[in-house]
Amino acid sequence: MGTCKLIITVELARGLIPRDGHDSPSAYVELCFDGQRIRTTIKEEDRNPAWNESFWFDMSPDPSNIHDLVLQASVYNTNEPIQGRGNYFLGMVTRNVASFHRFYEPTHRRQAALYPLERRRGMPMVGVRGELLLNGYILDESPIRAPIPSSAPVSLCVEVINATNLKPVDYPVVVTKTSSNDFIDLTLRTWRNALQRSLGYGSLETYYEQIKRCIQIGPMCVNPNLSKRLPIMKVIRMLQGSESISCDSSNE
């Protein structure tokens, strides 16, 4: 069974200010995710430290609570320990894991962003200044799941921008034991699984309905009976959603 890893690179911080406002902090960053905790090295007496250190955290390939998981990056100063409380807190960044892009192989593409440091809840804003540059993504090492059976017909969906002088094409008849409804259900499940694993989509249901419309229209365009194939302009209107998909046009 494959796994996922959250890959985080702590690149640098800018404008770190000690509590007393003088000198320069000796800072490090502590990363916390899903019960896992990692620290960077300490950069001595530097208000603009650069770490460029990468770390990874284990995570489930399909966590049901993906939108509840957060990465917390806290910056501390070792030069100003608070009596009985360890190192002095300089600020933190909290990121929802669902905001990170997902890749299926290691990548060097920059996903970095500069975040302002924030205070802890209930803590005064005094002493919290500066920014933290983080670069992160999700590495999905899971095998590709739910393939479409080789006996099922495969449809290609495209967006039609302009169409003139189009004629029907005689496609070979595909013989399959899978009914149209079963094939549609299977394909929709496959696409839903793929969309749920991809973190860049703003609305799962919107894409799901668009894919469903394409799958329903596809068989009507390759009906073995040429007289029952849909006119191209009707197909365009149905793809655009300006015309409903009629049941009597379906190809069983």
Q: pLDDT 10s digit of each residue in the chain, 252 long?
A: 457 889 999 999 999 988 767 788 999 999 999 999 999 999 999 999 999 999 999 987 766 777 889 999 999 998 765 554 557 889 999 999 888 888 877 766 667 889 999 988 766 655 688 999 999 998 887 654 444 444 444 444 444 444 445 454 444 444 444 455 666 677 767 666 665 555 444 455 666 677 778 878 877 787 778 888 888 888 888 877 778 876 554 444
Question: Taking the chain, what is the end-to-end CA distance rounded to the nearest angstrom?
Answer: 37
pTM check: above 0.75: no
Q: What is the DSSP annotation of 139-173? A: EE-PPP-SPPPTTS------------S-----PPP
What pLDDT score was predicted for residue 178? 47
Three-state secondary structure call for residue 96: strand
* Calpha distance 220→228 (Å, rounded): 8
* Calpha distance 142→150 (Å, rounded): 22
- Number of residues that make up the chain: 252
Lookup result for tokens 């670069």:
135
Number of neighbours of residue 216 by Cβ within 10 angstroms: 19
Burial of residue 158, with CB atoms counted within 10 A of its CB: 0-12 exposed, 13-18 middle, 19 or more buried: exposed
